[in-house]
């Protein structure tokens, strides 16, 4: 395909240092499942891609060889209950965040995602099935240095009910806080430092969740038509309706971090820095990236030697404790 992540190629260096290399899939692999919001059957194939391609979605149901949709922050056109991308012709693909999180967690830089409709299959509501697909396909290094997005100064998005921040840091650290008082979700906070398989073990199995009293409203909006207890944690007041219960005690906040990992990978490169979200969602995550890229002094692309990458993972400086703002809202 030839699309370049963020419009910039990684700089090749020839000073004898061993740089972290880009990665793609070793072989193609496919799956099928239900689309969370449309309820339609979705068939998807993951394929290898050339260096500096990035993650690219291809709608195979569009005549003329398919419609190409680059997975970048500036292609986000809708953030209601999921992240939806579109190309210049208005062709969309939605619910990309769990797959993008799996690509990020597995270190995949370049891949083609062929999909036969406007939405990625939800599978079990987590990123774990996509991690499994990637691991089954295999991962191979490519002869090109990996590009990282280094945060150089803080950027933020704030409104009355939510906020999100990015600031400089070593490695990639994420913190998140949620507050659904009076429900089984309640107030939860989490801090994780990604690297060395942390995504796979601590985040990938966390499922999307919703509230039973919101179902009719979502259906009226054309959303969640494929949702069920097989692909989401459903909450009714203080009760979890899924018979098997939760996969993690704090599965709700872990899924919010998973979503953030996927949304932030639309930056076009893995981030070196620290993220923190308070009661935020897909829209806030995308606005944060837009604010970041609007300030040329807030970011830069860099290549890392393997030694530098090993020294910088994990890293970050966000506290695991709930912030003063969240505590004050209790």
Helix-then-strand count for the chain, H and E: 8, 20
């494929």: which residue's tokens? 226
255 is a catalytic site residue:
no
Task: Annotate 121-179 with DSSP letters as a single string.
Answer: B-TTSSSHHHHHHHHHH-EEEEEEEPEEEEE-S-EEEE-SS-EEEEE--SSEEEEEEEE
Could you give the CA distance from residue 113 to residue 103 in angstroms, rounded to a whole number?
11
Residues 6+ apart with CB under 8 A from 201: none
User: Active-site residue among 98, 191, 276, 282?
Assistant: 282
Strands 271-278 and 299-303: unpaired
Q: What is the largest CA-CA distance in the chain?
A: 61
Provide the 10 A C-beta neighbour count for residue 73: 22
**Using alpha carbons only, what angle is made at residue 12 by residues 6 and 16, rounded to the nearest 5 degrees?**
150
Could you give the CA distance from residue 323 to residue 303 in angstroms, rounded to a whole number?
33
> Quick one: CA torsion of 56, 60, 61, 63, rounded to 10 degrees?
100
Could you give the CA distance from residue 184 to residue 268 in angstroms, rounded to a whole number?
36
Active site residues: 282
């Amino acid at each position: 395909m030839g699309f370049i992540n963020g419009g910039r190629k990684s700089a090749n260096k020839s000073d004898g240092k061993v740089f972290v290399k880009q990665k793609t899939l070793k072989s193609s692999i496919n799956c099928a499942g239900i689309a969370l919001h449309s309820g339609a059957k979705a068939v998807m194939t993951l394929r290898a891609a050339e260096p500096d391609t990035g993650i690219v979605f291809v709608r195979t149901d569009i005549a003329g060889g398919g419609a190409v949709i680059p997975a970048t922050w500036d292609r986000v056109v809708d953030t209601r209950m999921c992240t939806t991308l579109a190309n210049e012709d208005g062709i969309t693909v939605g619910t990309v965040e769990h797959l993008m999180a799996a690509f990020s967690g597995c270190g995949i830089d370049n891949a083609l995602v062929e999909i036969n409709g406007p939405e990625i299959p939800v599978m079990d509501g987590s990123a774990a099935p996509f991690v499994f697909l990637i691991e089954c396909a295999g991962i191979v290094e490519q002869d090109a240095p990996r590009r990282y997005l280094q945060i150089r100064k803080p950027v933020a998005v704030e409104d009355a009910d939510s906020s999100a921040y990015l600031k400089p840091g070593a490695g990639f650290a994420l913190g998140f806080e949620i507050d659904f008082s009076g429900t089984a979700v309640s107030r939860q906070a989490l801090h994780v430092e990604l690297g060395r398989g942390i995504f796979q073990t601590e985040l990938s199995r966390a499922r999307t969740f919703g509230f039973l009293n919101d179902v009719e409203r979502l259906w009226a909006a054309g959303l969640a038509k494929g949702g069920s207890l097989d692909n989401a944690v459903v909450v009714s007041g203080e009760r979890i309706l899924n018979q098997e219960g939760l996969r993690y005690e704090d599965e709700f906040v872990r899924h919010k971090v998973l979503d953030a990992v996927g949304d932030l990978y639309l930056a076009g490169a893995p981030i070196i820095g620290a993220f923190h979200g308070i009661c935020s969602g897909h829209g806030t995550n995308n606005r944060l990236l837009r604010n970041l890229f609007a300030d040329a002094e807030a970011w830069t692309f860099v290549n890392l030697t393997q030694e530098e990458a090993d020294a910088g993972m994990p890293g970050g400086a966000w506290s695991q404790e709930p912030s003063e703002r969240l505590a004050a809202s209790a």
